[in-house]
Amino acid sequence: MQDLVRNLLAELGENPDREGLLNTPRRVEKALKFLTSGYAADIDQVLNNALFTVDYSEMVIVKDIDFYSLCEHHLLPFFGKCHVAYLPSNKVIGLSKIPRLVDVFSRRLQVQERLTSQIAETISEKISPLGVAVVMEATHLCMSMRGVEKQNSFAVTSSMLGTFRSDARTRMEFLELIKLRSAASTRSSAGASLVCVDE
């Protein structure tokens, strides 16, 4: 990987042997391995048996989870907040495991729509709740640094499963609690707009 980075620097018109760039290939390799560490993660190991049988039937929400990911089309960052909710049937998941789950899927080459769905579907698979809701709002550097160069735009995506998809009142309660009322009509993992189209 370091040789590839050196070649890339040269192709960009730089001198990979100058002082400021001598250690850049090593740093880039280390950074990319961290930013894509989600590929090697074992979901069950991440959850570490933190699934508990509990007599609780109200909505569980973890909101404002910071996340950072890499757009698979340009390898530029996109980042923002993730909000997760579920309605337990007979199991709950340890609260700290939900941000860890977000990290697993965000530390891969991603598109925001797929990232949103993967988080929701994994929670649904692991604890079989009555419903799962995930909303993600993110700034994409591929939109603000290049292309359309719109610095103040952000994308909102949602995935609503089970009760959150079928029951408008449950969905509205969740969106009100995370203060994203404008997303009330979003009923699938499709985003507010297509982000980072392949060019």
Which residues are part of the catalytic machinery? 71-74, 112, 140, 142
Burial class (CB in 10 A: 0-12, 13-18, 19+), 112: buried
Cα 18 from Cα 23, distance rounded (Å): 10
CB 69 within 8 A of CB 79: yes
Cα 154 from Cα 137, distance rounded (Å): 7
**In this structure, how many other beta carbons lie within 10 angstroms of the beta carbon of residue 136?**
28
Contacts of 7 (CB under 8 A, 6+ apart): none
